[in-house]
């Protein structure tokens, strides 16, 4: 998009035009010129003829008075000028704050060298008496050295110095370059990129050549966007800049009464171009150049209102050398808007401009530190940010809080008192983001607020959330609606590495009761259990834990175990519990191992029970889990789940009740590792297992045969259920012998062994009489009679040691629907055999 609504960039001479380019390096190494055979070397002394004069410009002029070469004296006042040809040359010494000193002429032959000793004249420049009402001066040659009185001459000396190279060890600088985007009011920093650099330097930024800017202008728009150009010292000192601008003296600004300025603006024949106007500010007392301020001209009013322009700060080092210490370029970024709109009264209102400022881009750089060898020549103080992170409760500690500024890479950590400082920081107002390790571990968003980079001692503040705010942000409201709390922490191994995918369980118990004393003691108690699996960083979080009871927090992994105990009171909404998977040598690991694996160290299972109804998880369901001589009572939480650690592998009986649903029991087999048992409740049917279950960390499709058998057994859904224990006690030779005592079956041992219903001689529904043979099924597959026979020979059944259980369904009403129950020809019954 062309025009000022397009992308805006800054350009320096070393790079071709390109929209959106980050500024080039702040300080560029000087490029050496041609090597000449003739040289003049020497030393420049102060007016006392004793002390050397560093940072003095030595200018060599030819016979016609034209400048041939310029050099800068080093710290020892020494210099070397390389001349293009043999001949007679004049030497002029330029020292800021003093009038030029003419040295003796030098005659040099081809290929030879001369050595001179020069002494500065003690003739200071007095700018305090300069009349700022002097008239404007146009079209003055830059090399005359007297643009507008002596002010321009002093500014010119400083700019020349920044462009020259001494023959000594170069300066070593540390600087930053930045590219930032402010909102349309230029109040808040939205985005910022900062690059830090270190290296030897002699020159500040370079601009495009003066001839290019004189022809194309300082703001160039094309199909790729709009590019703003900034002048460097070479441009300001060029003949074309002097010829295209008029100069005048400017009085001191109100904020710096000690300054005097040389103002410049485009001459009449350039006022239709995108040019620049501005002021070079010089100190009246020392005649040192301080600042260049400039503005772009001849841009649309909406752009001019956003003050496009730039500032360059000049710095004189302690050794007399100069460099550009700070520069910035302000570039409003505009976009087109609708030219007309309806005002609601049926009239069309034309907009004053088809552009609106979207935001303001600022590019620039700052020198932070300058050294030569081991000597510090300059160190910037700069603005800073001080932020006090405030907390209302010790549960939310401010120590270690991390501060970041949006859109930038500025970041810092708070000390033990919650104070965080960033220095130096680019001046401006930023949106700050503050988080503490607690918030990070819980995935909470950072708190935000505005802060300002200042040079003063003012401290901003941001308040951390309260414990309840943290609790409600980290946990679903349903899980803590009755005053429950939260536990969180990190699981690490003994080498402090985070453990990923570890199951952490939180268990609490209460309401212990001894029942069944006549048949032996049986312990019945309520147990609450919640759990979580650690993430990539080892973090875990459990919501909904009660306040008051002692909470046992356990983790058991292949690498080790740990157990910790904690209690939440009414004033403590949450607590942090870090776990370390110690080997069995530690007491905590041994206790966790016993709690999770049993006293003998046998492998145990972690069982998660999920209760659902109508496709959604069901909270508030009462769950009883019978294991040995203990029964645990649990209640599903807001997610419809409970977690049981330390369960012995094998068949597990789970009874489930909830108001409005048919109670009942299911039986499932659990293996070592993590097991998930989904249970479905219905309002008109007994609980069932879902069709998909996770067992032993493996996802299984379909239900286990034995799970169905055990579930029907505990719910008494079959006419007779014969368990593996019953078979072991009776120890039959053939499986059919277990059926001889079943009241509803008549076993006929003749040519083969068959099973008839006891109603075999009764009248059939169709009025006839015939044998009523019982159907037989093994592991869900029906056995068919041999050819020519009407009944299944029971001698085909598996051997007794291969059988897990036997079910007898005496009539069609009791046969499960999935096995053909309630069919018109199934009224004789069914024998179901389930193998191990």
Q: Tell me, what's the pLDDT at 12?
A: 38
Tokens standing for residue 76: 């020892």
Q: Tell me, what's the pLDDT at 135?
A: 57
Q: Tell me, what's the pLDDT at 28?
A: 29
Q: Tell me, what's the pLDDT at 119?
A: 94
Closest CA to 372 of 62, 74, 46: 74
> Are residues 340 and 389 located together in one domain of the fold?
no
Percent of the chain with pLDDT over 90: 18
Q: Tell me, what's the pLDDT at 792?
A: 87
d(CA 126, CA 287): 8
> Are residues 787 and 707 located together in one domain of the fold?
no
> Are residues 371 and 397 located together in one domain of the fold?
no
Largest CA distance in the chain: 148
Q: Tell me, what's the pLDDT at 379?
A: 83
Domain with 700 in it: what CATH number? 2.60.40.10
Q: Tell me, what's the pLDDT at 700?
A: 58
Q: Tell me, what's the pLDDT at 17?
A: 30
Residue 402 neighbours by CB distance under 10 Å: 18
CA distances, 365 to each of 24, 54, 318, 328, 676 (Å):
10, 27, 21, 6, 60
Q: Which residues pair with residue 222 across a beta bridge?
A: 225
> Which pLDDT band holds residue 449 (cuts at 50, 70, 90)?
very high
The yes-or-no verdict on residue 763 having pLDDT over 80 is: no
Q: Tell me, what's the pLDDT at 389?
A: 94
Over range 10-17, report the average pLDDT.
Answer: 35
Residue 729 backbone class (left: φ over 0; alpha: ψ -120 to 50; beta: rest): alpha
Phi, psi of 589 (to 5 degrees): -65, -40
The yes-or-no verdict on residue 498 having pLDDT over 50 is: yes
The yes-or-no verdict on residue 690 having pLDDT over 80 is: no
Closest CA to 323 of 32, 72, 10: 72
> Are residues 626 and 680 located together in one domain of the fold?
yes
Among 571-575, 618-622, 631-635, which is the least confidently predicted range? 631-635
Q: Tell me, what's the pLDDT at 580?
A: 92
Is 2 inside any structural domain? Answer: no
Domain boundary among 678, 695, 717: 717
Is residue 208 within 8 A of residue 11, CB to CB? The reply is: yes
Q: Tell me, what's the pLDDT at 5?
A: 33
Q: Which residue has the higher pLDDT, 335 or 487?
A: 487
The yes-or-no verdict on residue 290 having pLDDT over 80 is: yes
Among 375-379, 421-425, 506-510, 691-695, which is the least confidently predicted range? 691-695
Domain boundary among 379, 409, 435: 379
SS3 825: coil
Domain boundary among 415, 444, 468: 468
The yes-or-no verdict on residue 364 having pLDDT over 80 is: yes
The yes-or-no verdict on residue 13 having pLDDT over 50 is: no
Phi, psi of 470 (to 5 degrees): -65, -45
Residue 325 backbone class (left: φ over 0; alpha: ψ -120 to 50; beta: rest): alpha
**34 CA to centre of own chain:** 52
Looking at 523-658, list the stretches that DSSP marks H as alpha helix, in order from N- to C-terminal side.
Answer: 587-597
Is 394 inside any structural domain? Answer: yes
Q: Tell me, what's the pLDDT at 686?
A: 83
Over range 38-43, report the average pLDDT.
Answer: 92
> Are residues 628 and 748 located together in one domain of the fold?
no
Domain of residue 640: give its range.
603-717
> Are residues 303 and 405 located together in one domain of the fold?
no
The yes-or-no verdict on residue 134 having pLDDT over 70 is: no
> Are residues 686 and 725 located together in one domain of the fold?
no
Q: Mean pLDDT for the chain?
A: 80
Is 430 inside any structural domain? Answer: yes
Over range 163-185, report the average pLDDT.
Answer: 78
Is residue 351 within 8 A of residue 232, CB to CB? The reply is: no
CA distances, 245 to each of 241, 263, 292, 376, 587 (Å):
6, 10, 15, 39, 87
Q: Tell me, what's the pLDDT at 347?
A: 46
Is residue 665 within 8 A of residue 689, CB to CB? The reply is: no
Q: Tell me, what's the pLDDT at 665?
A: 87
Q: Which residue has the higher pLDDT, 341 or 319?
A: 319
d(CA 360, CA 188): 10
Q: Tell me, what's the pLDDT at 702?
A: 56
Burial environment of residue 77 by CB neighbours within 10 A (0 to 12, 13 to 18, 19 or more): buried
Domain with 775 in it: what CATH number? 2.170.130.10
d(CA 152, CA 793): 122
Q: How many domains, the chain? A: 4
E strand segments, 84-187: 87-94, 101-102, 106-108, 113-119, 137-138, 171-182
Tell me which range, 132-146, 437-451, 503-517, is most confidently predicted by mean pLDDT. Answer: 437-451
Q: Which residue has the higher pLDDT, 277 or 593?
A: 277
Q: Tell me, what's the pLDDT at 701?
A: 55
Is 144 inside any structural domain? Answer: no
Q: Which residue has the higher pLDDT, 26 or 741?
A: 741
Is residue 500 within 8 A of residue 490, CB to CB? The reply is: no
> Are residues 300 and 227 located together in one domain of the fold?
yes
Q: Tell me, what's the pLDDT at 149?
A: 58
Among 57-66, 247-256, 314-323, which is the least confidently predicted range? 314-323
> Are residues 210 and 233 located together in one domain of the fold?
yes
> Are residues 341 and 236 located together in one domain of the fold?
yes
CA distances, 527 to each of 504, 506, 517, 677 (Å):
16, 10, 21, 18
> Are residues 280 and 191 located together in one domain of the fold?
yes
Tokens standing for residue 13: 């001479």
Which distant-in-sequence residues (6+ apart) come within 8 Å of 106 by Cβ? 40, 88, 89, 90, 91, 114, 116
Over range 511-525, report the average pLDDT.
Answer: 64
Q: Tell me, what's the pLDDT at 434?
A: 95
Domain with 434 in it: what CATH number? 2.60.40.4130
> Are residues 294 and 432 located together in one domain of the fold?
no
Is 307 inside any structural domain? Answer: yes
Q: Tell me, what's the pLDDT at 324?
A: 83
Q: Tell me, what's the pLDDT at 165?
A: 60
d(CA 56, CA 45): 10
Tokens standing for residue 290: 């301080």
Closest CA to 308 of 270, 266, 352, 362: 362
Is 287 inside any structural domain? Answer: yes
> Which pLDDT band holds residue 455 (cuts at 50, 70, 90)?
confident
Torsion over CA: 269, 271, 275, 277 (sign): positive
Q: Tell me, what's the pLDDT at 368?
A: 81
Tokens standing for residue 217: 């202008």
> Which pLDDT band holds residue 699 (cuts at 50, 70, 90)?
low
Over range 231-235, report the average pLDDT.
Answer: 84
Q: Tell me, what's the pLDDT at 704?
A: 66
> Which pLDDT band holds residue 698 (cuts at 50, 70, 90)?
low
Is 451 inside any structural domain? Answer: yes
Over range 372-377, report the average pLDDT.
Answer: 83
Is 66 inside any structural domain? Answer: no
Closest CA to 708 of 737, 686, 725, 727: 686
């Amino acid at each position: 998009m062309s025009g000022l609504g397009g992308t805006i960039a800054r350009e320096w001479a070393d790079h071709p035009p390109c929209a959106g380019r980050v500024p080039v390096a702040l300080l560029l190494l000087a490029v050496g010129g041609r090597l000449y055979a003739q040289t003049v070397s020497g030393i420049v002394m102060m007016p006392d003829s004793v002390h050397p004069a560093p940072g003095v410009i030595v200018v060599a002029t030819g016979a016609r008075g034209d400048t041939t070469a310029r050099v800068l004296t080093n710290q020892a006042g020494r210099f070397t000028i390389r001349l293009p040809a043999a001949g007679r040359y004049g030497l002029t010494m330029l020292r800021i704050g003093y009038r030029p000193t003419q040295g003796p002429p030098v005659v040099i032959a081809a290929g030879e060298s001369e050595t001179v000793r020069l002494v500065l004249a003690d003739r200071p420049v007095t700018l305090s008496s300069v009349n700022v009402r002097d008239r404007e001066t146009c079209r003055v040659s830059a090399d005359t050295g007297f643009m507008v009185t002596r002010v321009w001459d002093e500014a010119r000396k400083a700019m020349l110095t920044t462009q020259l190279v001494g023959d000594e060890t170069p300066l070593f600088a540390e600087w930053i370059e930045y590219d930032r985007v402010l909102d349309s009011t230029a109040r808040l920093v939205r985005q910022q990129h900062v690059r830090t650099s270190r290296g030897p330097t002699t020159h500040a930024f370079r601009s495009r050549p003066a001839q290019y800017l004189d022809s194309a202008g300082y703001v160039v728009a094309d199909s790729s966007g709009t590019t703003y150009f900034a002048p460097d010292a070479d441009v300001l000192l060029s003949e074309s800049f002097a010829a295209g601008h008029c100069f005048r003296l400017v009085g001191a600004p109100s904020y710096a009464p000690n300054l005097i300025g040389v103002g410049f603006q485009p001459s009449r024949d350039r006022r239709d171009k995108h040019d620049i106007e501005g002021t070079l500010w010089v100190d009246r007392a020392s005649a040192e150049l301080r600042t260049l301020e400039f503005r772009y001209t001849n841009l649309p009013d909406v752009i001019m209102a956003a003050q496009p322009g730039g500032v360059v700060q000049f710095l004189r080092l302690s050794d007399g050398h100069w460099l550009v210490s700070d520069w910035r370029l302000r570039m409003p970024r505009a976009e087109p808007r609708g030219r007309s709109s309806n005002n609601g009264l049926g009239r069309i209102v034309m907009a004053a401009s088809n552009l609106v400022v979207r935001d303001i881009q600022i590019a620039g750089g700052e020198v932070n530190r300058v050294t030569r060898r081991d000597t510090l020549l300059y160190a910037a103080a700069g603005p800073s940010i001080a932020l006090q992170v405030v907390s209302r409760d010790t549960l939310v500690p401010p120590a270690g809080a991390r501060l970041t500024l949006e859109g930038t890479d500025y970041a810092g950590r708070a000390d033990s008192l919650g104070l965080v400082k960033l220095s130096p920081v680019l001046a401006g107002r930023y949106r700050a983001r503050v988080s503490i390790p607690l918030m990070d571990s819980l995935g909470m968003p950072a708190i935000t607020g505005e802060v300002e980079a200042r040079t003063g001692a003012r401290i901003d503040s941001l308040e951390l959330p309260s414990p309840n705010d943290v609790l409600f942000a980290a946990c679903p409201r349903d899980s803590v609606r009755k005053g429950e709390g939260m536990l969180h922490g990190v699981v690490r191994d003994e080498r402090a590495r985070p453990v990923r995918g570890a199951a952490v369980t939180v268990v609490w118990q209460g309401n212990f009761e001894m029942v069944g004393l006549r048949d032996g003691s049986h312990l019945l108690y309520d147990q609450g259990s919640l759990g979580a699996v650690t993430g990539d960083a080892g973090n875990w979080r459990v919501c909904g834990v009660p306040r008051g009871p002692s909470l046992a927090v356990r983790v058991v992994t292949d690498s080790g175990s740990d157990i910790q105990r904690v209690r939440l009171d009414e004033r403590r909404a949450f607590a942090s519990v870090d776990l370390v998977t110690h080997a069995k040598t530690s007491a905590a690991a041994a206790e966790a191992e016993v709690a999770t694996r049993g006293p003998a160290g046998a492998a145990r299972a972690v069982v998660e029970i999920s209760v659902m109804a109508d496709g959604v998880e069901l909270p508030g369901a009462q769950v009883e889990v019978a294991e040995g001589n203990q029964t645990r009572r649990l209640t599903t939480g807001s997610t419809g789940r409970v977690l049981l650690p330390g369960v012995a592998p094998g068949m597990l009986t789970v009874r489930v009740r909830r108001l409005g649903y048919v109670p009942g029991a299911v039986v499932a087999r659990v293996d070592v590792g993590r097991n998930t048992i989904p249970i479905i409740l219905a309002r008109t049917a007994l609980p069932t297992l879902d069709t998909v279950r996770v067992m032993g960390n493996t996802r299984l499709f379909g239900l286990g045969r034995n799970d169905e058998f055990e579930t029907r057994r505990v719910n008494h859904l079959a006419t007779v259920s014969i368990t593996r224990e019953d078979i072991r006690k009776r120890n039959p030779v053939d499986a059919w012998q277990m059926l001889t005592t079943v009241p509803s079956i008549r076993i006929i041992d003749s040519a083969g062994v068959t099973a008839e219903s006891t109603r075999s001689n009764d009248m059939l529904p169709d009025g006839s009489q015939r044998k009523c043979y019982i159907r037989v099924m093994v592991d869900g597959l029906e056995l068919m009679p041999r050819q020519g026979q009407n009944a299944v020979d029971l001698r085909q059944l598996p051997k007794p040691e291969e059988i897990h259980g036997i079910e007898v369904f005496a009539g069609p009403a009791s046969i499960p629907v999935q096995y053909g129950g309630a069919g018109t020809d199934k009224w004789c019954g069914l024998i179901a055999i389930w193998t191990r």
